[in-house]
Structure 1
Amino acid sequence: MSTRAANALTARWAATLDNKATVLSGAGVHPLLAVLARYADGPARAELSAVVGDPTGVDLTDSPSTRMALGFWTRRGLPLSDRWRTEVPAALRGELTGDETVDQAALDAWAAAQTDGRISAMPVRATTGTAMVLASALSVLTTWQNAFHSTSCRPTEGPWAGRHLAGLRRRSRDLSTLRVTDATAGPVSLLTVEGTDDVDVVLALGPAGRGPAEVLPAAIDALDGHAPALPLTAGPGVSEQIVDASDATPELTVSTVAFTVDASHDLLRQSALFGLTTATDPGGDHFPGITARLFITQAVQNTTATFNTTGFSAAVVTAFAMRVGAMPRPATVRKRLVSLTIDRPFGFVAVHRPTGLVLVTGWITHPDLM
């Protein structure tokens, strides 16, 4: 999985969001698209390859905080290509019996096992006509290097005015964790909350009234360090003052909110974004590297993420269901004391620190209540 291609997919996806609370993972979709591209042909291969880019580059095997699993199930008796049988490890392959109850139970059990029960069911539904299911599961769990303290948060203005929220507060001497990037939407404040292992979470606060479609892509683009930077005091939610202290070391105080956010995404509603337009055509022979006349009927991602005093956790399951089509028809091509206060809707980006891979990103409109 390419960090650059997966992050670009996440940014493009985030740019289509409305202002509702959500969470998503391009890193959860990318491995499945890469598998499909490898075994596709014709226009379907071209579309998928344009999204996938270089399919190699990121290995999460040794990560102490992040797990990625893949699973592929094919219907009993489906004639599979020698290439598929040879190249795909037997440990990743399962069988669909054609009994909806039995198959769904097996798929749901896999999703629950790979996410420690945080996602209890496979996003797609098995039917008697399902020929193949491809799935990925991504789990993230980290604790903070510098924990937050619980506090009450009751904003006096903005969308959360008057609400009693589960506030989080902490103080540190590391101002380098806060930066302000100059984006098309205006300045965006980015706070890196460092995990004890190899995952950080970046909180992103844009100008009032700016939503996830503008703030999240700006945050992702800034991860490589090449985005234009602004003075800290130019950042939304940031203030600075000179205070009396026992030493001259600058400090940073952060006030934010705890949250849990869940989402389900039907990827086929934006099939072109994922390179899946041709692959859903029942009349084509899109994946001869697997079997003849396969086409995609379902593509769904379910995601959950939690941010609290001690750490961050997330779970993602992405799945594609496929059927076998009828006879093919011709296909068509398509101390200074700096303070950051986050007391209105904001975004977050969880990043695998060694590679820069965006694991999950999301938008918070309903934080936890006291």
Structure 2
Amino acid sequence: MEQTTLQDALSADEITAANELTRRWLTARAEVPAVASGLGIWPLLAVLATGAVEATLEELLEAAGIDIGQAADVPAALLDAVRSAPALSLAVAAWAGPRVTLDPEWVAGLPGDAIGALTGDPAVDKPVLDDWASRNTGGLIDRMPVDLDESIELLLASALSVRTKWRTPFEEQYGPFRNGPWKDRGKVLSATYREEVLRVDPDAAVLTVAGHDDIDVLLAIGRAEAPPQEVMSTLIDAAADPRWGRPASEATPSIGVTFREYQGSAPQTAPETNAVVPAFTLDTDLDLLQDAAALGLELASDDEFAQFDRLAAQRLYISQAKQACTAVFSASGFEAAAVTAFGMAFMGSAPPQLIHKHRCAVVTFDRPFAYLARHRPSGLILIAGWVAEPGE
């Protein structure tokens, strides 16, 4: 039987809702993280919403950008559709302690065989949870990002990973940047494209690096004085709108973009872009309760006012909400992963002749920039972040 694709499983409005959660979260933070996944949070908000009531339910649905009917359907639809995307992996699971009596209807609504058991003994529970994180990220993240020394009666988690090889591999320059703000720093990669991969507007330049298996990684460099939140928001706009900006081949020198002319052996038949990018490996550990307002978790994490009456017989609130992420941008491809966890506690030959003139756009990412990875057919943003320092 043919598998459902992401673009078929999720409506355009649902994809926009997931992407807008990413925008709202990252742009609301004092600092844009090096790597983060709003998509890792989005299905967990839906799962929580199916167990919430009244104001807590309303806050979760508003943050997720969905209604209660969608909250019941989205996690399973998302998990099923990801199976048709070879570069992606996504899992959602829950573990309950012995003192919690879960609502059978809530359990029945969980996607797949998602329920496990917690013993309450960290020495027993930690290896099980860490193994789940490692298996579901292909070893990119080898731990569950929660503190098991604190009381956890119910744990909800998601694990997301993406791996792709570039259609056009980069060449390693075997040296740092020679000029610019990152002079004498970084491991420089270079690639030349003979297609329209670079778009510009007065405030930013956005490069699309195409991978196999329907994955793109987009890089955006903004004005030097622009805050990271603004550059990230611009990048999300560009990712969502193919009409954003204008092709670099039709532009003049702009932010991060220069042009060079050279003599080639054959006429130029397509736009040419040379991209100069640092390799990078980034890791972050995020406390999501610091972003409770942007993520719709203010009431859910309030040990007095949280309302999860449709989830368990006991009164629960979110006592921990954490995400561990990693991203690697190399000459051959891109790989990234995020594990998100919500812990709930009880309240209380002869050279050719060069006779043809070519014009090539050169985009250089030699200072801090934003990036994101997306599923190309659906436009769903998978991972996003800010590269503040060049990789060594």
What TM-score, normalized by structure 1, do the two folds share? 0.90
SS of equivalent to 1:31: helix
1:340 equivalenced with 2:360 (yes/no): no
Letter of the 2:337 partner, please give it: A
The worse-fitting range, judged by mean Cα deviation, of 287-296 and 243-252 is 243-252
Q: Which residue of 1 aligns with 2:297?
A: 276
SS of equivalent to 1:120: coil
- Deviation readout 1:177-201 (Å, 9 max, x if unpaired): 1111x4xxx5211111000111110
* CA RMSD after TM alignment: 1.9
TM-aligned CA distance change 1:224 to 1:21, over 3 Å: closer
Q: Which residue of 2 aligns with 1:120?
A: 142
Q: Report how far residue 228 of structure 1 moved.
A: 4.5
Q: Report how far residue 157 of structure 1 moved.
A: 3.0
Letter of the 1:33 partner, please give it: L
Q: Which residue of 2 aligns with 1:22?
A: 34
TM-aligned CA distance change 1:20 to 1:9, over 3 Å: closer
1:35 equivalenced with 2:47 (yes/no): yes
1:148 equivalenced with 2:133 (yes/no): no
Q: Which residue of 2 aligns with 1:252?
A: 273
Q: Which residue of 1 aligns with 2:96?
A: 74
Q: Which residue of 2 aligns with 1:50?
A: 62
8 A Cα contact 1:98 1:127, kept in partner? no
SS of equivalent to 1:153: coil
- Deviation readout 1:110-135 (Å, 9 max, x if unpaired): 11111122211111122473110000
CA distance in 2, matches of 1:19, 1:87: 36
Q: Which residue of 2 aligns with 1:191?
A: 207
Q: Which residue of 2 aligns with 1:91?
A: 113
The worse-fitting range, judged by mean Cα deviation, of 220-229 and 289-298 is 220-229
Letter of the 2:385 partner, please give it: G
Query: Matches of residues 1-370 of structure 1 in structure 2 within 5 Å?
Result: 2-18=14-30, 22-54=34-66, 55=70, 56=74, 58=78, 59-88=81-110, 91-127=113-149, 129-151=151-173, 152-158=175-181, 160-163=182-185, 165-174=186-195, 176-180=196-200, 182=201, 186-225=202-241, 228-230=244-246, 232=248, 233=252, 235-246=254-265, 247-249=267-269, 250-284=271-305, 286-291=307-312, 292-326=314-348, 335-369=358-392
Letter of the 1:296 partner, please give it: I
Q: Report how far residue 337 of structure 1 moved.
A: 1.3
CA distance in 2, matches of 1:293, 1:21: 33
TM-aligned CA distance change 1:88 to 1:17, over 3 Å: closer
8 A Cα contact 2:19 2:38, kept in partner? yes
8 A Cα contact 2:32 2:229, kept in partner? no
Q: Report how far residue 224 of structure 1 moved.
A: 2.1
SS of equivalent to 1:280: coil
Letter of the 1:31 partner, please give it: P
Q: Which residue of 1 aligns with 2:3?
A: none
CA distance in 1, matches of 2:30, 2:184: 24
Q: Report how far residue 80 of structure 1 moved.
A: 1.4
**Percentage identity across aligned positions?**
38
CA distance in 2, matches of 1:187, 1:64: 35
8 A Cα contact 2:367 2:388, kept in partner? yes
- Deviation readout 1:10-65 (Å, 9 max, x if unpaired): 11122134567611110011010111112110111010000112343753121100
- Deviation readout 1:314-361 (Å, 9 max, x if unpaired): 0100000001224xxxxxxxx421111111111111001121011001
CA distance in 2, matches of 1:284, 1:348: 37
The worse-fitting range, judged by mean Cα deviation, of 57-66 and 264-273 is 57-66
TM-aligned CA distance change 1:248 to 1:318, over 3 Å: same
TM-aligned CA distance change 1:197 to 1:226, over 3 Å: closer
8 A Cα contact 1:136 1:319, kept in partner? yes
Which blocks of at least 5 consecutive residues in structure 1 are unaligned?
Answer: 327-334
8 A Cα contact 2:92 2:111, kept in partner? no
TM-aligned CA distance change 1:254 to 1:357, over 3 Å: same
Letter of the 2:17 partner, please give it: A
The worse-fitting range, judged by mean Cα deviation, of 210-219 and 13-22 is 13-22
The worse-fitting range, judged by mean Cα deviation, of 280-289 and 96-105 is 280-289
Letter of the 1:154 partner, please give it: F
Q: Report how far residue 153 of structure 1 moved.
A: 3.1
Letter of the 2:286 partner, please give it: H
Which blocks of at least 5 consecutive residues in structure 2 are unaligned?
Answer: 1-9, 349-357
The number of residues matched between the two structures is: 354
CA distance in 1, matches of 2:112, 2:39: 23
Q: Report how far residue 303 of structure 1 moved.
A: 0.4
